């Protein structure tokens, strides 16, 4: 699977920066103006990133790094503004509602859909989480199945568990 980034319109070259976590690497890709995506890359995607882009902290990556450093220091910080123009109106509503879920708290897929005004939308919320190009910034790790079951995560369940433990939502 190729890395999917919103490339229109770009401001300067696309660069990457690896943000190392205990369970894996979150690759941040950005241009001079904005963060284009963040991904826990597969080996194939990692090769694509390393071959295709230059490692540099661009203007779009710098605010994302500052947010991550605050997040992992358990300091309150607002996520950088994200370009969500590639998503549908319903997906954007889901993402905006999810960003309101506080650090250390979780919400079910159905509960998130209800908050966003999507009736019987647990599946829609789940599919929207799978499309999230900004994990941690749009905290899809905070969305769980009903009954307290962790559920899936783009970077792998081990990363979701790591993030929930970091936030104190999982013992």
133 within some domain:
yes
In this prediction, residue 44 carries a pLDDT of 92
Instruction: Clarify whether residues 157 and 109 are in a common domain.
Output: yes
Residue 40 and residue 25: Cα distance in Å, rounded? 6
81 within some domain:
no
In this prediction, residue 1 carries a pLDDT of 45
160 within some domain:
yes
What three-state secondary structure class fits 130? helix
Continuous segment of H or E residues that includes residue 140: none
Instruction: Clarify whether residues 127 and 65 are in a common domain.
Output: no
Instruction: Clarify whether residues 32 and 65 are in a common domain.
Output: yes
pLDDT along the chain (171 residues), means of 10: 60 91 94 94 92 93 96 90 94 97 97 95 97 96 95 93 96 79
* Nearest partner of 45 among 3, 4, 5, 6, judged by Cα: 3
Residue 99 and residue 141: Cα distance in Å, rounded? 11
Catalytic: which of 64, 140, 143, 159? 140
CA distances (Å), 104 to each of 29, 115, 143, 164, 166, in order? 26, 18, 11, 7, 8
In this prediction, residue 69 carries a pLDDT of 96
Domain extent at residue 93: 89-167
Whether 140 is a known active-site residue: answer yes
Question: How many of the other CB atoms lie within 10 Å of CB of 116?
Answer: 20
Domain boundary among 46, 72, 98: 72
The CATH number for 162's domain is 1.10.10.10
Instruction: Clarify whether residues 116 and 57 are in a common domain.
Output: no
Instruction: Clarify whether residues 93 and 68 are in a common domain.
Output: no
């Amino acid at each position: 699977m190729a890395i999917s980034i919103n490339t229109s319109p770009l401001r300067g070259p696309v660069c990457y920066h690896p943000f190392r976590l205990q369970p894996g690497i979150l690759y941040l890709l950005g241009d001079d103006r904005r963060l284009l995506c963040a991904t826990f890359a597969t080996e194939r995607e990692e090769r694509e990133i390393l071959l295709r882009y230059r490692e540099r902290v661009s203007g779009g990556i710098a605010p994302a790094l500052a947010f991550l450093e605050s997040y992992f220091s358990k300091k309150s910080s607002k996520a950088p503004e994200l370009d969500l123009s590639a998503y549908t109106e319903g997906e954007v509503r889901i993402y905006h509602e999810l960003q309101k879920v506080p650090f250390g708290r979780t919400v079910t897929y159905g509960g998130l859909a209800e908050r966003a005004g999507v009736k019987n939308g647990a599946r829609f919320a789940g599919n929207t989480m799978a499309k999230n190009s900004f994990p941690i910034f749009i905290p899809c790790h905070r969305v769980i199945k009903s009954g307290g079951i962790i559920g899936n995560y783009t970077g792998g369940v081990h990363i979701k568990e790591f993030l929930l433990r970091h936030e104190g939502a999982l013992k």
